[in-house]
Structure 1
Amino acid sequence: MGHITNNTTTCHVEVLQFVAYTPLFILGLLLNATALWAFVSRRHAWTDTHVYMLNLAVADFALIVFLPFRMVNAFHCLRTTYLCTFLIYIHYVNMYASILTSTAISVHRFLLVRFPLRAKAWQWKRRTAIVVCVVIWVTVIALAAAYRRTYYPEKLKTCYERWSDELLPPDFLITLVVAGFTVPLLIIVCCSSQTILILWRDKFNSGKEKKHIVGIVTANMIVFIFCFTPVHVSLLLKNSGIQLATAQTTIHHVFLVSEWMATTNCCFDSISYYFLFKSLHPSAGPAGSISRTR
Structure 2
Amino acid sequence: ALYESTNNCSHNIIKLLLTIVYIPTFILGVLFNGMAIWFALRKIRKLTEPVIYMVSLMVLDLFVLFAIPFRIISYDSKKWDLGQTFCSFLESLYFVNMYGSILISVCICVDRYIAILHPFAAVTLRSPGKAAITCVIISAGVWAGTSCTFQLHNKDTPPVCFHGFSEATWENIILIVVLETVLLSSTIVVIFCSVQIMVCLQRSQKPDSPFTIKSKSLKIIVANLTIFLICFVPYHLALVLYYLVMNCILNDPHEAILSFLQITLACANLNCFLDGVCFYFVFKESVNLASVESNAMN
Using the size of structure 2 for normalisation, the TM-score is: 0.80
2:152 to 137, 150, 153: 150
Unmatched 5+ stretches in structure 2: 1-10, 293-298
> Which whole-Å CA distance do the structure 2 matches of 1:147 and 1:211 have between them?
42
Residue 266 of structure 1 aligns with which residue? 272
> Which whole-Å CA distance do the structure 2 matches of 1:234 and 1:194 have between them?
29
TM-aligned CA deviation for residue 14 of structure 1: 3.1
What is the 5 A alignment of 1:1-294? 14-42=15-43, 44-79=45-80, 81-119=84-122, 121-122=123-124, 125-145=127-147, 148-151=150-153, 153-154=155-156, 158-163=160-165, 165-166=167-168, 167-179=170-182, 181-202=183-204, 206=208, 208-209=210-211, 213-240=217-244, 241=247, 244=250, 247-281=253-287
Residue 6 of structure 1 aligns with which residue? none
Q: Deviation digits for residues 153-186 of structure 1, max 9, x if unmatched? A: 558863112347441511111111112x111111
Q: Is the 8 A contact 1:25 1:67 kept in 2?
A: yes
TM-aligned CA distance change 1:197 to 1:172, over 3 Å:
same
Q: What SS class does the counterpart of residue 76 from structure 1 fall into? A: coil
Aligned residues: percent identity? 26
TM-aligned CA deviation for residue 43 of structure 1: 5.0
TM-aligned CA deviation for residue 221 of structure 1: 1.3
- How large is the RMSD of aligned CA atoms in angstroms? 3.1
TM-aligned CA distance change 1:15 to 1:158, over 3 Å:
farther
Q: Which moved more, 1:110-119 or 1:196-205?
A: 196-205
Q: What SS class does the counterpart of residue 45 from structure 1 fall into? A: coil
TM-aligned CA deviation for residue 105 of structure 1: 0.4
Q: What SS class does the counterpart of residue 161 from structure 1 fall into? A: coil
Using the size of structure 1 for normalisation, the TM-score is: 0.81
> Which whole-Å CA distance do the structure 1 matches of 2:85 and 2:193 have between them?
40
One-letter amino acid matched to 1:87: L
> Which whole-Å CA distance do the structure 2 matches of 1:105 and 1:62 have between them?
20
TM-aligned CA deviation for residue 13 of structure 1: 9.4
Number of residue pairs matched by the alignment: 274
> Which whole-Å CA distance do the structure 1 matches of 2:237 and 2:224 have between them?
20
Q: Deviation digits for residues 98-140 of structure 1, max 9, x if unmatched? A: 1111110010011111123554x45960000011001101111
Q: What SS class does the counterpart of residue 82 from structure 1 fall into? A: helix
Unmatched 5+ stretches in structure 1: 1-9, 289-294
Q: Is the 8 A contact 1:155 1:163 kept in 2?
A: no
Which structure shows the bigger proportion of residues in helix conformation? 2
Q: Is the 8 A contact 2:114 2:121 kept in 1?
A: no
Q: Is the 8 A contact 1:21 1:260 kept in 2?
A: yes
> Which whole-Å CA distance do the structure 2 matches of 1:51 and 1:212 have between them?
17
TM-aligned CA deviation for residue 90 of structure 1: 1.1
> Which whole-Å CA distance do the structure 1 matches of 2:94 and 2:20 have between them?
19
**Higher relative contact order at CA 8 Å, sep ≥6: structure 1 or structure 2?**
2
Q: Deviation digits for residues 250-280 of structure 1, max 9, x if unmatched? A: 1111101101110001111101111122222
